[in-house]
Amino acid sequence: MNDETPVENRNGTRHMERIIRWALAALAAILLALFAILFVQYQAMRNAASPNQRELRWSWTLERRAPLPVSEAPLIHAWMTFDYVNYLFALPPSYLRTRLGIGDVRYPRLGIGDYAEKKGMNVDTFLSKVQAAVRGYEPAAGGGSAPSANAPSGTAPEPAQTTGTNPSI
């Protein structure tokens, strides 16, 4: 009987060790799966909450060229706000609101894609409508065309230089 007890203990200990190993492996697999799910969710939230680096670089490039001629309307993207489009193309603040029939109180600080989704419209279709509205913009009488891409926005043109004597003397 004394000889059988150590063998039974050894088998019982081995069995418990196996159970513990399986439990630890299962726990590690569950933790790994949870970590993967959390990482994927974090990435999705991060991408949805802010424009990516490519969009930020694109935005910076466009701002340096603003105001853009209306022929550049295809540069408009769904992540842009109406306010940003107004700035880029030197449009009057209410132009797109009136032209597209936008009644949202958050206009112009409203994303084009967000607005389309909220209204149940296809984002690409609505984006095409925004681009067409920008292409169809004609400045008020006396304005001619949109300001040059090289002219800084908000500055008055320099007075014409005349040759001859200085009238202030």
Identify the helix (H) or strand (E) that includes residue 21.
helix 4-49
Residue 43 confidence (pLDDT): 79
Give the pLDDT confidence score for residue 69 in this predicted structure: 86
As a whole number of angstroms, the distance between CA 47 and CA 57 comes to 15
Secondary structure of 25-65 as H, E, C letters: HHHHHHHHHHHHHHHHHHHHHHHHHCCCHHHHHHHHHHHHH
Token pair of 69 as six digits = 């001629």
Q: What's the Cα-to-Cα distance from 36 to each of 33, 40, 160, rounded to whole Å? A: 5, 6, 66
Instruction: Identify whether the C-beta of residue 66 lies closer than 8 Å to the C-beta of residue 146.
Output: no
Answer whether residue 93 shows pLDDT above 60. Answer: yes
Specify which residues 111 forms β-bridges with: 81
| pTM for this model (two decimals) | 0.51
Distance CA 87, CA 63 (A): 9
pLDDT at 162 over 50: no
Q: Is the pLDDT of residue 114 over 70?
A: yes
Q: Return the closest-CA partner of residue 71 out of 145, 5, 14.
A: 145
**Residue 135 confidence (pLDDT):** 93
Specify the range with the lowest mean pLDDT, choosing from 6-15, 51-60, 111-120.
51-60
- Name the percent of the chain lying above pLDDT 70: 64
What values do phi and psi take at 156, rounded to 5?
-85, 150
Residue position matching structure tokens 């009136």 = 98
Q: Which amino acid is at 139?
A: P
pLDDT digits (tens, 9 = 90+) for 56-90: 666 666 667 668 888 888 889 898 999 989 988 98
Would the pLDDT of 156 be above 70? no
What's at 158, amino acid-wise?
Answer: E
